[in-house]
Amino acid sequence: MIIAIDGPAGSGKSTAAKRLAERLGFTYLDSGAMYRAFTWKARSAGIDFSDKEGLLKLVNETDIRIDCSANGSEVFVDGVNVTGEIRQPSITENIHHVSGLEFVRKKMVKLQRDFARGKDIVAEGRDMCTVVFPDADKKIYMDADIRERAKRRHSELETCDDESDIDNVAEDLSQRDHRDSTRQFAPLKRVPDAFYLDTTNMNAEGVVDILIKEIGREQQTD
């Protein structure tokens, strides 16, 4: 069974997807980790993000793997564990340079589909419902008010950037929303058959409870 979750940054989809996978006994797929991994590889290789030919050559030569265990997911690039490195601010700030490139997304889609083969998974990202798993058993689109999303992201950033404030984070998220929803290839959008959930006034457990009920209802009607 494949459960696909899309939505903008700060909507709570990553936390919800992890907890949902845990409660269902499914494997969790963080698609964004793959784009972070390639961003890390490009920076490490000294490839300029404007060098499309260089990035094309690099992505075709790069092996990205996610290993899942009871202790969580670990991300490997060419056999090197980069699980911690890909969460650094320098990666977050530059991921958009590669995530909008068609040849990068095609490589990641293949990796994500290969990862899901033969598994029960909860996959979250920007194009899980639209491109990667258009025939998913359950499609979910999560969203939240921009101010609430900024508060959540600000809370995450405080440990690594004391200068960040909610207004700046909200502006950054707004710009990211625009990039994600207007990019030419695989833009972020809500598909008509996705279950829509506004998480603005909800905590993570409340979100998962609703998703569990929705998935159960869906299975009963199949």
**Annotation: binding site for ATP:** 7-15
What is the total residue count of the chain?
Answer: 222
Would you list which residues are annotated within the binding site? 7-15
Q: E strands along 35-177, which residues?
A: 64-69, 72-77, 80-81, 121-125, 138-143
Query: CA–CA separation, 86 vs 107, rounded Å?
Result: 18
**CB-based contacts of 185, cutoff 8 Å, min separation 6:** 100, 101, 102, 105
**Burial code of 90-119, b = ≥16 C-beta within 10 A, e = fewer?**
ebbebbbbbbbbeebbebbbebbeebbeee
**Residue 34 to residue 215: CA distance in whole angstroms:** 27
* Cα-based angle 154, 158, 164 (whole degrees, multiple of 5): 65
3-state class percentages of the chain: helix first, strand second, coil last, to nearest 5: 55, 15, 30
Contact (CB, 8 A) for 21 and 68: no
